Copies of this chain bind each other. A is one copy, B any other.
């Protein structure tokens, strides 16, 4: 189409068609390095030189593959949004609130765990005023939140949970889970660890699930029915 920015895309007949193995490997390496650098220093603070060094390639090669700094950044954001959307499964009023919320917390926690750099990249983008993601926030994501909110409200009407504001509840879950990726340095510094183990993450997930569910008056199906 009317692209013409990246020579690589002229070469590869169409975007996404896999050619060489070295190409794939280099792209993977560049994207991983860029995610680290952008996450750490933000869009402006990241330098192509640093990205190239971390990827073990000359700067020119990074530009050959990615076209421009902005293009590279946008591509990383889109990749992260795809990962995010992958766990935005639909729910229904008939579902069990406890199961849905626990799955929500757990999958969100795993996303932060599996892609900590991507999580921080996203955080840095929002922190800077979301110049590239405003459309996504005001559109797709907003609709998703409001759809869920309506279901939470219906659950509350049916007495399955307390009548709490569903949007604030979603933000609470997002912030609590995101925290362990974005503020990793703080968490490690205060707890005196080198890294969070799988067991730690499981423990935190259990803690968050218990506190938040109980805080909303949601009773787990297979749990004590009363305190």
Contacts and interface: CB of A to CB of B under 8 A. Distances in A.
Interface size class, chain A: 35 or more
Contact of A130 (B141, B169, B186): B186
Interface of A: 39-46, 120, 123-124, 126-130, 134, 137-138, 141-142, 145, 164-165, 167-169, 171-172, 174-176, 178-180, 182-183, 185-187, 189-192, 203-204, 207-208, 210-217, 227
Contacts of A211: 164, 169, 172, 212, 215-216
A141 to B, nearest CB: 6
Lowest 10 A-B CB distances belong to which pairs? A215-B215, A44-B45, A137-B189, A45-B45, A175-B179, A211-B215, A42-B42, A130-B185, A175-B175, A42-B45
Given A41-B42, A123-B183, A145-B190, 10 more contacts: A44-B44, A124-B127, A130-B189, A137-B186, A142-B189, A172-B176, A172-B207, A175-B183, A215-B215, A217-B227
